[in-house]
Structure 1
Amino acid sequence: MTAASYFTGSDEAGSAATLKDDERRERLAIAGLSLPALLLVAVCLIIPVGSLLALSFIGAQGNLSLENYQRLIDNKAYLAIFLTTFEISAVITLICMLLGYPLAYFITLLPPRAVGFAMLAIILPFWTSLLVRTYAWMVLLQKQGLVNSTLLKLGVIDEPIALLHNYAGTVIGMSHIMLPFLVLPLYGAMKAIDHDLIRAAANLGAGPIVRFWTVSFPLSLPGLGAGALIVFVLSLGFYVTPALLGGGKVTMVAMRIQKSVALYPNWGAASALAVVLLVVTALVLLLGLWIWRRNRGNRPVMS
């Protein structure tokens, strides 16, 4: 080894060591800046969830017990409630996808000024209380409400139909409330699509329908999947709208948790239900993350 190569190797080793030291200091600085946020998460999330988990193992006599979870296993009614919750969440997610995709696609075709008004119309319901919106649907869906009155005047129906305090009313109200949660991420994904790819497909002879299904739709799937996951997870824990529009005839997990708090002398039964719902929600999120990572590299590439 020559002297020049020796000193070159020493300089490279010193540079690598300096770079590692800089990276270590940068990580420590980032960790220090993140510490307040981590403490806030610990106080507002980890401690309450941990307390909930601990309460789920407290029996009716105040002792450590698995009786709350045993009750969930033995009582088949809890399984029916979970199935109803998943069914309603899936139906609402499907409806939001069918309504939200054309809406988001239409917004991307509008001029910039019109896009602002369209997005304002989508975000505007967030400025109104969830309880107020639910009561508004109760007024619209009752037998003498606007929906039945309009259908009667148009001759679509001969007598008012039951749209309130049942499955249909719950789905209608929740779909309206959840729709913006799908449109917003979907619109962001559609807006980020490179229009050069669409123009390239047109130059290659692809028609509008072919361009949509081979370019636009595949590239919008991440936004559609993110929006659908948000809608589904939020629907799993919904309480106010199904409690009011369902009229007690449609029972979801969140409603059953409230009834457990009122029925049993301690919060153990309700905590066990909440823990199971939390675990199921986490599994759904992990499944969505796994699907996204699996399909991340399968996007269309045009050469």
Structure 2
Amino acid sequence: MKRISPSPALLVVPLLAFLLAFYVLPVILMLGRSAGPEGDFAPYAAAFGSEVVIKVFSYTVKIAVGTTFLTLILAYPLAYFIVTTGERTALILMAIVLIPFWTSILIRSYAWMVLLGQRGVINGFLIWIGVVEQPIRMLNTTFAVYIGMIHVLLPFMILPILSTLKGIDGRLVSAAENLGAGPVAVFRHVILPLSMPGVVAGCILVFVLALGFYITPALVGGPSDMTLSMLIAQEVDLYRWDTASAIAAILLVTTLLALLAVSRVLSMDRILGGPR
């Protein structure tokens, strides 16, 4: 008797049901609540008219952009070195990248609190070698927020770039070298353009995650380092659900606009590894 296989379309039904119940429906309810009890969008007017919300929004975008840029500066050379170095060294470097990646964000943030504190390891070392006489205030500053977020988000930048660099056809590099191109010219005209989908994918991942970051800024940042996610949590604690929903909707729209802007510059098919 011939076994009847289910339609391939049925295989995605559980996933679609899960997303519908735990993502799409909550987002719809959030957007509906953000319109206010009277449906007059008063929470949006209150949010856009609040200096606190505007200041926090500007700070969140600034931190997200800065973290994305600094993470890219650190990740690209490391990814390139991993691709071009020996297999043993590459495995060691990948372990160094991935082991923290598998550790809880909360634990890593607490680790930076220990390292950056007034009596932390870094201050103790600086005093011991005579660089400073008094502890430097590093914890609860914007500097600490950048350090903590870069540490957490670095693998999200390295892995897409690394994947793209590994996928570059070595024959293209050899052809450029045979035509007389030096190492700088090969990198500039062959490797860098072909690795841009990985760069863009990494930047999207880091930027979107940085926009919604909560734990690290809350633990290592100061009173002036409030992000939108922290402000949303504060509004929820104060039972201002409508305002919290409006701010969350603003954060969602900001993320979607960033993705739309990137898709206008570079095809999403290229970023996701589709046909070019």
Instruction: Give the alignment's TM-score, normalised by structure 2.
Output: 0.90
Q: 2:140 aligned with 1:174, yes or no?
A: no
Which string of whole-angstrom CA distances, capped at 9 and with x for unpartnered residues, describes residues 104-160 of structure 1? 111112223432332222111132211111010000001221222222333433432
Q: Report the Cα distance in structure 2 between the residues aligned to 1:73 and 1:216, rounded to whole angstroms.
A: 44
Which segments of structure 1 move beyond 4 Å, counting only runs of 4 or more? Answer: none
Q: What residue in structure 1 maps to residue 71 of structure 2?
A: 96
Mean Cα deviation higher: 178-187 or 279-288: 279-288
Amino acid at match of 2:259: L
Mean Cα deviation higher: 88-97 or 65-74: 65-74
How far does residue 162 in structure 1 lie from its aligned partner after superposition? 1.2
Check the 8 A contact 1:165/1:249 in 2, yes or no: no
Change (3 A) 1:98 1:156: farther
Check the 8 A contact 2:142/2:222 in 1, yes or no: no
Aligned match for 1:208, one of 174, 183, 189: 183
Q: What residue in structure 2 maps to residue 46 of structure 1?
A: 24
Q: What residue in structure 1 maps to residue 266 of structure 2?
A: 292
Amino acid at match of 2:114: V
Q: Report the Cα distance in structure 2 between the residues aligned to 1:295 and 1:289, rounded to whole angstroms.
A: 9
Q: Report the Cα distance in structure 1 between the residues aligned to 2:103 and 2:256, rounded to whole angstroms.
A: 29
Q: 2:112 aligned with 1:137, yes or no?
A: yes
Change (3 A) 1:157 1:221: farther
Check the 8 A contact 1:134/1:173 in 2, yes or no: yes
Q: What residue in structure 2 maps to residue 192 of structure 1?
A: 167
Change (3 A) 1:66 1:36: same
Q: What residue in structure 2 maps to residue 274 of structure 1?
A: 248
Q: What residue in structure 2 maps to residue 14 of structure 1?
A: none
Instruction: Give the alignment's TM-score, normalised by structure 1.
Output: 0.82
Amino acid at match of 1:167: T
Q: 2:125 aligned with 1:147, yes or no?
A: no
Q: Report the Cα distance in structure 2 between the residues aligned to 1:285 and 1:218, rounded to whole angstroms.
A: 20
How far does residue 247 in structure 1 lie from its aligned partner after superposition? 3.1
User: How many residue pairs are counted as aligned between the two chains?
Assistant: 265
Percentage of pairs with the same residue: 40
Is there any run of 5+ residues in structure 1 with no aligned partner, and where? 1-27, 297-303
How far does residue 295 in structure 1 lie from its aligned partner after superposition? 11
Aligned-CA RMSD value: 1.9
Check the 8 A contact 1:95/1:175 in 2, yes or no: yes
Amino acid at match of 1:164: L
Amino acid at match of 1:241: T
Check the 8 A contact 1:93/1:228 in 2, yes or no: yes
Is there any run of 5+ residues in structure 2 with no aligned partner, and where? 1-5, 271-276
Q: Report the Cα distance in structure 1 between the residues aligned to 2:150 and 2:197, rounded to whole angstroms.
A: 21
SS in 2 for 1:105: helix
Check the 8 A contact 1:152/1:159 in 2, yes or no: yes
Check the 8 A contact 1:123/1:180 in 2, yes or no: yes
Which string of whole-angstrom CA distances, capped at 9 and with x for unpartnered residues, describes residues 196-216 of structure 1? 111111111111112111111
Aligned match for 1:110, one of 85, 90, 100: 85
